[in-house]
Chains A and B, each alone.
Chain A
């Protein structure tokens, strides 16, 4: 643990928030079109309609906000999933979120020739929700109800099934493949502000919800039996977690497509910084997730300029060395 007591954690949290805000501004300033910090200020105070100001308002600002919102949501839902399944390999993907959304989008493209990002938002949100409901129902049938093991297995099976259908459609239909390849890699580029504002209410509910249940997650992480013995309604908590994961991970995939790496990695990284107390873990993970995605997105613009690298690719490239370093040092979480 890097931060050992609550005082240090509080300071750490402020520093992290400060870095986050700095990166959000940097994300607005740096990119293919040359802009300066002064121009950004002007764009908001007295917009003169110049090219740069329009780009800042309609392209860079939504992009920066989206990267922060999506990164944070994915990291938080990753924390919840890893605690729920008691598996360090779990991620929102295990609930079938990405596979369901991907399948829904590919289905819409091949069968109904839907082609714009706006429509993708709701279609993928729907797909993610359906997948989570399927995984949840299948794994909670039977006497003992929802066990981490059954959830993990059912989730992995359902995700694999959706992913295989998606692959199938893409192999048959090469035109669709071309169209959704970029979406399937995950990106925060080219999204309009409306896409964010449409989904934002769900994300905010998810963020608040995850903070509300954070102390209960601490009890839950001691094991189901202990948690029940201490008077926790575990069945209710599991449903809450499922709903929050749908809101956060489903919302993220709706905005940015499947971005996989953050949901697994950031929880581990965060645990090595603040320990296993969910009341700190969840907000920290949210901020660190946002930071990683912002950094990745800024770098994605510079690698092969003027083209862009999908941000999902970039998060893995930046995050992996860091993650391996922490994995070698040893997670002191367990």
Chain B
């Protein structure tokens, strides 16, 4: 009868509406993501059939297979999955609260801040022989710090009796241009070897992820995504514009701050471990919007899985197609994503 089906469990104490079409889309996406996860685990120098991979997951398989899957492939694929989700959700939230289709983690200077931090890290902690003087393990911390500091700076500069979306985004653009400039400056002035190392990081890669990374990234991201899902109704309200949002009783400044905090946390975590993977934060929410419409209850989970699929697929292609060369995942996210997005633009003529 209608697009929605309602649920009233616990004698109506809790009730919610479920969008039927969105649910189907979401289930399909979860299945695709699962399939890519298994397939990706099986691909590489040592090929495993999907069945063998599943066997390893459930404790079977030979010792060699278990080693390859568990210590080399799983961590990076999990990182790819989580990073994709985090970026897509953060992008979706930002587009909602800023009400601009071009909003993404990049325009707020988050990625830019992280890039500057990483490039300076590589530049300042190298000795004459281009060897790092401190452990590379500190790089994620540097990136995270860079992203957070810049987010705070943008928010602080945009504050003037509260922050308005347009001010945030314009100041964000200014700051991120400045960050880009500083990054380029550091890369040109530093040794070229460092520049190309930094370039790989800026492009974004999940190469060399370890279980240690997974142990930090997964809980961090999941917590903030869950909080984001609980704030969905507030994003929907904020998207109506400040006047209407105030009129229907939203605490716009508080919610805007909280939501910005959530997206900063999500982006900060993912740039720390995977660098500046672009495109996902910008385009995954748009793809989701074309598939399920713009109510954030459906939009956020769908874009999360689109993001996860994009990054996993990009990583899979990056490490298998040009083997033994390893192409950073960030190169292919747009390469795969853009054609699909253009197809969606064609297909849904009016939106």
Contact = CB atoms under 8 A, between A and B. Distances in A.
B50 to A, nearest CB: 28
A164 B279 contact: yes
A74 B135 CA distance: 43
Interface string A47-68: 0000000000000000000000
Given A177-B199, A327-B171, A89 B100 contact: yes
Interface stretch (A31-39, A238-246, A316-324): A316-324
B97 to A, nearest CB: 15
Contacts of B170: 88-89, 268, 323, 327, 331
Please report whether the interface of chain B is mostly helix, strand, loop or mixed according to DSSP. Answer: helix
B160 A328 contact: yes
B332 A317 contact: no
B157 A142 contact: no
A216 interface: no
B196 A177 contact: yes
B184 A312 contact: yes
Give the interface size bracket for A toward B. 35 or more
B325 interface: yes
Given A260-B177, A327-B167, A328-B157, A153 B200 contact: no
Interface in B169-185: 169-171, 173-175, 177-178, 180-182, 184-185
10 contacts: A89-B107, A138-B346, A143-B349, A144-B350, A157-B341, A160-B338, A172-B325, A320-B178, A324-B175, A334-B166
Contacts of B338: 157-158, 160-161, 164
Interface string B97-127: 0001111000100000000000000000000
Contacts of A142: 346, 349-350
Contacts of B286: 153
Interface stretch (A124-132, A178-186, A195-203, A281-289): A178-186
A153 B345 contact: yes
Given A87-B102, A144-B349, A164-B335, A320 B278 contact: no
Given A143-B349, A171-B200, A185-B188, A317 B181 contact: yes
B101 A149 contact: yes
B249 interface: no
A261 B181 CA distance: 10
Contact of B350 (A94, A143, A177, A182): A143
Given A89-B107, A181-B195, A154 B345 contact: yes
B189 interface: yes
B330 interface: yes
Given A309-B185, A316-B180, A152 B334 contact: no
Interface of B: 100-103, 107, 157-158, 160, 166-167, 169-171, 173-175, 177-178, 180-182, 184-185, 187-189, 192, 195-196, 199-200, 203, 278-279, 282-283, 286, 322, 325, 327-328, 330-335, 337-339, 341-342, 345-346, 349-350
B199 A161 contact: no
A160 B174 contact: no
A152 B102 contact: yes
Given A142-B346, A171-B199, A317-B178, A160 B278 contact: yes
B195 A324 contact: no
Given A158-B338, A316-B178, A327-B167, A167 B331 contact: yes
Nearest to B280: A160
A324 B156 CA distance: 11
Which of B100, B160, B334: most chain A CB closer than 10 A?
B334
Please report whether the interface of chain A is mostly helix, strand, loop or mixed according to DSSP. Answer: helix
Contacts of B330: 164, 167
A89 B102 contact: yes
A194 interface: no
A304 interface: yes
Nearest to B204: A167
Contacts of B167: 327-328, 330
A215 B116 CA distance: 43
Contacts of B157: 324, 328
A313 interface: yes
A157 B160 contact: no
A168 interface: yes
Interface in A67-94: 87-90, 94
Contacts of B188: 181-182, 185, 309-310
Given A142-B346, A314-B181, 5 more contacts: A144-B350, A160-B283, A264-B173, A319-B174, A324-B175
Nearest to A177: B196
Nearest to A164: B334
Contacts of B160: 328
A265 interface: yes
Contacts of A154: 342, 345
A174 B178 contact: no
A237 to B, nearest CB: 22
A327 B331 contact: no
B178 A171 contact: no
Given A171-B328, A316-B180, A161 B334 contact: yes
A182 B342 CA distance: 32
A165 interface: yes
A311 to B, nearest CB: 10
